[in-house]
A and B are shown apart, each in its own frame.
Chain A
Amino acid sequence: MANKKFNSRLIVGTGKYKNMSECAKAIKLSGANIVTVAVRRVNILNKNKPLLMDYIDPKKITYLPNTAGCFTSEDALRTLRLAREIGGWKLVKLEVLGDKKNLFPDMIETLKSTEVLSKEGFRVMVYCNDDPLMAKRLENVGASAIMPLAAPIGSGLGILNKTNLTIIRNQTKLPLIIDAGLGQASDATIAMELGCDGVLVNTAIAKAKKPFDMALAFKNAVIAGRQSYLSGRIEKTLMGVPSSPTEGII
């Protein structure tokens, strides 16, 4: 992706953990090479607050700056330009939300931002809805990866529209990464079996009763789903087909 090779198809978010060390351990267990991070104000009053970079080494794990919480193109551009300034990050995740309750992306603002950022040299991974037409438009304006939602952010509802995701898979050669809405490991397997190139998970791991075990479960689920996809599944039939030979039955 973006001319870089990664060893894991699982991207994990770094939000919502109890603390930084829990976050770091979960990431390690997930095997993820890429983590999403948010850009926020430095707390100037409490200088002893732990820093993310002290727990997750950006030299070992690729930081993917994200515009989570931005509701306009202007805010998203401002955030990512600042992110680039922190240390030269060009691979970024764009997320422009349109509604505070359902957290669906505002695709008009997202499209506008993708075009501007691509022209500025960013490699933009774009959070979007599962609309094949919009996905095509994002590709046309220079997106580096298409990241459709499975379901609303943090909802845990799993993949709601397999058909649309399959259509998007068939129309694009860009990396297709399912972002948002996964609830359990099997959701990641299904995403991978649809032919997606990866999944992004945050809440499903961070808020699981046992985040470390869930991180491991997601790691295995992504590997299983990818292997299953590459293995070529059998045809579906309406009627039963016996597994044992029918000849020679006593």
Chain B
Amino acid sequence: MIKIKKIKIRINGKNKTIDNQSTLYELINDLKIPIKKIAIEFNREIVDKKKIKKIKLKNNDVIEIVHFIGGG
């Protein structure tokens, strides 16, 4: 059996272990986050949501996913 290599990323301030070569799209899908209602920052750069299928995650990547909440 081929063992899939794991990598460690940081998402919204929390460490997470995922499969190597996963895409940003797969990660967001796995987390069941509605893509239309969020914005994503990938290693401090804002990501065009249309391009997340092409972004492959690597070790130590830092991701921030934000949405709107109640505020004054």
Q: How far is the CB of B50 from chain A (nearest CB, A)?
A: 11
Name B16's closest neighbour in chain A (CB-CB): A44
Give the contact-size bracket for chain B.
Answer: 20 to 34
When A42-B65, A86-B39 are in contact, do A37 and B70 touch as well, CB less than 8 Å? yes
Which residues in A have their C-beta under 8 angstroms from that of B70? 13-17, 20, 23, 37-38, 52
Instruction: Verify if A28 is at the interface (C-beta below 8 Å from B).
Output: no
Instruction: Verify if B36 is at the interface (C-beta below 8 Å from A).
Output: yes
Instruction: Verify if A36 is at the interface (C-beta below 8 Å from B).
Output: yes
Instruction: Give 1 or 0 for each of B25-58: 1 = CB within 8 Å of chain A CB.
Output: 0000001111011111100001111000000000
Which residues 59-94 of A have a CB within 8 angstroms of B?
63, 65-66, 68, 78, 81-87
Residues of B within 8 A of A (CB): 11-14, 31-34, 36-41, 46-49, 64-72
Given contacts A37-B68, A82-B64, 18 further A-B contacts (CB under 8 A): A13-B70, A13-B71, A14-B69, A37-B69, A38-B69, A38-B72, A41-B13, A41-B65, A42-B38, A44-B11, A44-B33, A44-B65, A45-B14, A51-B34, A51-B67, A53-B68, A85-B40, A85-B49
Residues of A within 8 A of B (CB): 13-17, 20, 23, 36-45, 47, 51-53, 63, 65-66, 68, 78, 81-87, 153-154, 180, 202-203
